[in-house]
Amino acid sequence: WPAARGACAALSGWTKFGSLIVAPLWASYPERRLRPTLVFAGAFLAATLAAFSILLFEPNPVHAARVFWDRTLGWQIDRESPFSIWDWRQYHAGLPDLHLLQRVLEVLLLVGAVAVYFVPRRKSPLQLAALTAALLIGVELVLTHWFYLYLPWFFPFAAFAVLAPTAEPLRAAVRAPVERPRQ
């Protein structure tokens, strides 16, 4: 259901920002059409408003939004970490500064996230799982701070994509002529 996917994508995204990357992909499942995409977007917006309505309990919601930004995304953007190749230069003299490459890869990841909205036009559950895993792995690859506990973000999707049987062998078996026993 587009509405359920939209609401879940929003709630997931506002829990762990990295999962926002799959919203265009999930909006186009199972087929890219205008009406289901609008329903997805409406549910995404409604869930987002519901999640951020907590800010209205503060005496100054604008200040609360600023504090939210500073303690979440604002802090993550400038974060330094020894757990990523993107920040190793600050800890070891002589290593190259890879921040420019990181930014290029981040832009390519965003382009890829938009591209999977359009291609393929019709997606199977197996394709949805594989593309979701690929996008989430891409997010993890460009993170400045990486930790092994981030593996569960993509692992279920990757496991399903790798281990689920495809329908092709079943179709081939159905089309094959049936041998009759000899009498």
Per-residue model confidence as pLDDT tens digits over 4-31: 999 999 999 988 888 999 999 999 988 8
- Give residue 87's pLDDT: 81
CA 108/CA 104 separation, integer angstroms: 6
Greater confidence (109 vs 97) lies with 109
Cβ atoms of 133 and 164 closer than 8 Å: no
Amino acid at 14: W
- Give residue 176's pLDDT: 54
Q: Is residue 78's pLDDT more than 60?
A: yes
Q: Is residue 96's pLDDT more than 80?
A: yes
Least confident residue range of 47-56, 66-75, 97-106, 125-134 = 66-75
- Give residue 63's pLDDT: 94
Q: Is residue 169's pLDDT more than 70?
A: no
Q: Which residues contact 131 (CB under 8 A, 6 or more apart)?
A: 25, 116, 123
Note the pTM of the prediction, 2 decimals: 0.81
Q: Is residue 127's pLDDT more than 80?
A: yes
- Give residue 168's pLDDT: 60
Cβ atoms of 76 and 146 closer than 8 Å: no
Task: Report CA-CA distances (Å) from 103 to 17, 99, 109, 120, 163.
Answer: 17, 6, 10, 26, 33
- Give residue 3's pLDDT: 94
Q: What mean pLDDT is predicted for residues 112-138? A: 93
